[in-house]
Each structure stands twice: as C-alpha cells, then as structure tokens.
Amino acid sequence: MDINIRNNVLSNLKGASAKEVYDTIQDAITLGEEKVLPGLGVLFELLWQTTDASYKDTLVSTITKAL
C-alpha cells in the first residue's frame, strides 16, 4: 500500500482554522507516538518552505538550544 503522507496531512488540514491546526499539533505532541512524527514533519517542511532566511535562522537556533 502506497500512502502519500504529505498529501494526506495537507488534505486533512485544508481549510482548518488556526485553532484546529494548533490543536492538531498539540495533540500529536501530547500523544508522543512515533507514528505522528511524519505528519509533524510535513508541517515543519511547509513552514520551512514558506519562511524567510531570518526566521529559518531563528528556528535553527531554537532547535539547537532545545537539543
């Protein structure tokens, strides 16, 4: 079975409100299950692709500090 995670995540959240997206992210993190990591990765990829270099530096810095 071939599952396109990117398309599924984007399709499931299409038209979602900011609260719905927030709740989706919070629920995925709260669950702490490995199976939700690809979906969070899709959201991070979308963020990365739509942000400027300065904000990318901020993200990398924040992640580095958290590690």
Write the pLDDT tens digit of every residue in 16-62.
999 999 999 999 999 989 999 999 999 999 999 999 999 999 999 99
Q: Residue 9: which residues within 8 A CB-CB, separation 6 or more?
A: 38, 39, 42, 43
Please give the pLDDT value at position 2.
Answer: 64
Q: What pLDDT is stored for residue 3 in this prediction?
A: 76
Give domain limits for the chain.
Answer: 5-66
Q: Is a pLDDT exceeding 80 seen at residue 7?
A: yes
Residue 11's pLDDT band, with cuts at 50, 70 and 90, is very high
pLDDT of 1 reads 57
The pTM score is 0.86
